[in-house]
Structure 1
Amino acid sequence: MKLMNVERITKTEKRYTKKMGILHTKVTYIRKRLLIFPLKTLHKYRNTYYGEVKDCEQCLLSR
């Protein structure tokens, strides 16, 4: 039985960009877990309409 594992979860979120306004996008989180408890989010990214992968730090969560 593994004590530490890394899992990838995809959620749908609302993001705000200056060019497009409110954007509903799928955001993928890569998290480190100890048994069933989440420890830390290692990385989060999203896929654009054109298939590019972007870091979520480029989008603002609020206006």
Structure 2
Amino acid sequence: MKLISIKRETKPEARFTKRMGVLTTNVTYIKKQFLSIPYKTVHKYRETYYGKIKDCENISLAK
């Protein structure tokens, strides 16, 4: 039995853009687990409407 493992989980989330309004996309979370209890999110990314992969941490709402 492993003490530390990594799990990938995808769930839908609502995002808002000025051009398209509310858009529901699949956001994938990569989390570290200790004895099957998640304790840290390693990475979070999403797939855009056009099929590109974007990092969720680099999103800036204000320019």
Give the whole-Å Cα distance in 2 for the aligned partners of 1:18 and 1:42: 29
Structure 1 residue runs of 5 or longer lacking an equivalent are none
Q: TM-score under structure 1 normalisation?
A: 0.83
Structure 2 residue runs of 5 or longer lacking an equivalent are none
Judge conservation of contact 1:16–1:59 (CA < 8 Å) in 2.
Answer: no
Judge conservation of contact 1:15–1:59 (CA < 8 Å) in 2.
Answer: no
Q: Mark the CA change 1:59 to 1:8 in structure 2 (over 3 Å): closer, same or farther.
A: farther
After TM superposition, the structure 1 stretch with the greater mean CA deviation from structure 2, 50-59 or 11-20, is 50-59
Q: How many residues align?
A: 60
Taking only the aligned residue pairs, the percentage that are identical comes to 60
CA drift of 1:48 comes to 1.2
Judge conservation of contact 1:44–1:55 (CA < 8 Å) in 2.
Answer: yes
Matches within 5 A, 1:1-63: 1-57=1-57, 58=59
CA drift of 1:59 comes to 6.5
Moved over 4 A (4+): none
